[in-house]
Amino acid sequence: MSHNTVRLKKATRLRGEMTVPGDKSISHRAVMFGSLAEGTTEVTNFLQGADCLSTIDCFRRLGIEIENTPERILIHGRGLHGLSAPASVLDAGNSGTTTRLLSGILAAQPFATTLTGDASIQRRPMRRIIEPLSLMGAEIASVNGNDCAPLRIVGKPLHGIHYHSPIASAQVKSSILLAGLYADGKTTVTEPALSRNHTEIMLNHFGARVVSEGTSATVEPDPVLHGRKVVVPGDISSAAFFIAAGLIVPGAEILIRNVGINPTRSGILKVAEAMGGDITYLNVRRDGEPTADLLVKHSALRGVTIEGKIIPTLIDELPVINIMAACAEGTTVVRDAADLRAKESNRIDVMARYLSAMGGDITPTQDGMIINGGRPLHGTAVDPHMDHRIAMTFAVAALIADGETAITDGEIVTVSYPDFYEELARLSR
Ligand code: S3P
C-alpha cells in the first residue's frame, strides 16, 4: 500500500444521496461459508475491500475456485471436507476477521498451515482463539511465541465444547462455531454480551443448525452446507462516517440507502438518537439481515454515557462517535470498551492523541474515554496507525475543523471503503 497523504478542509456543504459498500463482516462470511458448501454460491454487493480480498485469496490457496467480477462473486464450494493444503503461507493482510475465523476452520483440516498478516495483524491478540480452539483439541501455536500471528495450525480431530468467552467478540465466537462444524459433538459459545450474529444467521441460511438463546449459540457438527445466494447489505460501519458527518456539519442532509440495521450492529443509531440526532428510517426491510434507508440531518447533539451491553453493537463505530461527542454539548463517557485497544490500532490511545491534537477535550481511560464537547477543532496531521477507521474518523473531524487536516497513509481506507474520499468529496460539492 502506498503512503499517500490525504488533505481535507472544512465542509461548506454536505448533501445528497448515497449507498455504502457491502458489509465487511457479511462479505467475509459469504466467501468462507460458500467455500465450505457444496455447489455454487453467488454473492452480490460484495465488499471489494482489501480485507475481503484477503479472504478470497486465502480460500483460493486452499483450492477453491472463486470468480470475482464487479457484478458478483461466484464461489465454487467443495463441501465441508473439500479444502486442500496450500502451497504457501496464508496471508490475511490487515484482517482480524480472516485470521480468527479461518483459524477455526484450519484447526480441523487434515493438513497443516501457517497463517500470517501485516504488521498490525502481527500485533493483535490471538490467545483469545488459541485458548478455546486448543480446548477443542486443536494444535495451534504463535510462531514467535507472543500470542500473535503468524500462527502455525496443524489440523486435528476436534471435540465439542461449551465455551464461556471472557469477551463479547464475534470473531472469537465464530472461530469456535466454525471449528464446531468439524467437532465430535455440539459446540456452544456463551458470551458476556451478544456480539454480531452474522455467522449464526448465515450458517443457518447455508443449511447448518445453529440455535441462539440469549448470549449463547450452539452449532451441531457435520452439516451438509449448500451453495446459496447472498445479497450483502450496505455496511453500517461504513455508513457510520456519513451518519456522523450528516449530524455534525451545519446544514447537512444525507440519504444513505440500503444500510444493514441488524440490532447486533446498530448501536450507533441508538446512541445518535439519545444524543438528539435527527435520523429517519425509510423503507425498512426485515427479511434475513434487516436493512433501511437512513435520512440524516444536521442536529444539535448532547453528551451521553455509552456502556454495558450496547458496546459490542457499536464497537467499530466508537472512534467516529468520539467526533460526534466532541461536537456535542456536555460530556460523553464511554466505558466497558477496553477491547478498543486490541483493534487495528489501539483506538483509545490513538483517538486521545489526535482528537486532543485537534483541540478536543478527551481523556483516555483504561476501558474507554471521557469527552467534553463543544471545543472548536482545528486541522492537524494524523497518522492512522494502519487503521482504516481512524483515517475515516479524522476525515469526518476535518469537515468541521478550521484549517487543513492531513491524513498520512490515507489509502488505508481501502481495507473497508475504497471510494470513501470520493464519496465525501461528491457530497461536499
Ligand atoms: C468482526 C467482529 C468485531 C469487529 C470487526 C469485525 C467480525 O471484532 O470489530 O471489525 O466480522 O466478526 P471482535 O470480534 O474482535 O470484537
Ligand 1, atom nearest to 171 Cα? 14
In a domain, 75, yes or no: yes
From 123, 169, 266, give the residue whose CB has the most ligand 1 atoms within 8 Å, as the site to mutate: 169
Ligand 1, atom nearest to 25 Cα? 11
At 3 the pLDDT is: 62
**CB under 8 Å to 249, separation ≥6 — which residues?**
11, 14, 298, 399, 400
Q: Name the band, by pLDDT with cuts 50, 70 and 90, for residue 32.
A: very high
Number of domains within the chain: 2
Which residue puts its alpha carbon closest to atom 11 of ligand 1? 25
Measure 428 CA to ligand 1 centroid, in angstroms: 31
Ligand 1 binding pocket (C-beta < 6 A) is: 25, 96-97, 169-171, 174, 195-196, 315-316, 339
219 and 281 inside one domain = no
Rounded (10°) angle between helices 96-106 and 127-135: 20
- Domain limit, last residue, from 206, 231, 256: 231
206 and 260 inside one domain = no
From 25, 31, 200, 388, give the residue whose CB has the most ligand 1 atoms within 8 Å, as the site to mutate: 25
**Could you read off the pLDDT of 284-298 as tens digits, one per residue?**
999 889 999 999 999
Give Cα separations from 30 to 74, 80, 403 (angstroms): 10, 14, 43
DSSP state of 319: H
What is the rounded CA–CA span in Å between residue 24 and residue 144? 29
CA end-to-end span of the chain, whole Å?
28
Measure 4 CA to ligand 1 centroid, in angstroms: 27
What is the rounded CA–CA span in Å between residue 358 and residue 85? 50
- Domain limit, last residue, from 203, 231, 259: 231
Mean pLDDT, to the nearest integer, of 330-355?
A: 98
260 and 376 inside one domain = yes
Position 50 pLDDT exceeds 70: yes
In a domain, 277, yes or no: yes
Measure 170 CA to ligand 1 centroid, in angstroms: 6
Give Cα separations from 14 to 200, 272, 345, 417 (angstroms): 37, 18, 29, 19
At 1 the pLDDT is: 39
Ligand 1, atom nearest to 101 Cα? 12
**Could you read off the pLDDT of 381-400 as tens digits, one per residue?**
999 999 999 999 999 999 99
Measure 182 CA to ligand 1 centroid, in angstroms: 23
From 28, 52, 54, 97, give the residue whose CB has the most ligand 1 atoms within 8 Å, as the site to mutate: 97
Please provide the average confidence, as pLDDT, over all residues in the chain. Answer: 98
Measure 13 CA to ligand 1 centroid, in angstroms: 33
Ligand 1, atom nearest to 342 Cα? 15
CATH number of the domain within which 205 lies: 3.65.10.10
At 2 the pLDDT is: 45
In a domain, 102, yes or no: yes
256 and 351 inside one domain = yes
What is the rounded CA–CA span in Å between residue 365 and residue 348? 8
165 and 238 inside one domain = no
Active site residues: 316
Which residue puts its alpha carbon closest to atom 10 of ligand 1? 316
**Could you read off the pLDDT of 217-268 as tens digits, one per residue?**
999 999 999 999 999 999 999 999 999 999 999 999 999 999 999 999 999 9
Share of the chain above pLDDT 70, in %: 99
Prediction pTM value? 0.98
Closest CA to 389 of 239, 172, 169: 239
What would the grid cell of residue 50 be?
482489501
Which residue puts its alpha carbon closest to atom 13 of ligand 1? 169
In a domain, 1, yes or no: no
Measure 195 CA to ligand 1 centroid, in angstroms: 8
From 23, 105, 127, 195, give the residue whose CB has the most ligand 1 atoms within 8 Å, as the site to mutate: 195
- Domain limit, last residue, from 212, 231, 250: 231
Ligand 1, atom nearest to 128 Cα? 15
32 and 113 inside one domain = yes
Domain that holds residue 171: 24-231
In a domain, 220, yes or no: yes
278 and 403 inside one domain = yes
Between 3-12, 109-118, 167-176, the lowest mean confidence (pLDDT) is in 3-12
Measure 264 CA to ligand 1 centroid, in angstroms: 11
Closest CA to 123 of 350, 329, 325: 350
Cα 374-272-329 angle, rounded to 5 deg: 20
368 and 411 inside one domain = yes
At 287 the pLDDT is: 84
200 and 314 inside one domain = no
106 and 121 inside one domain = yes
Ligand 1, atom nearest to 199 Cα? 12
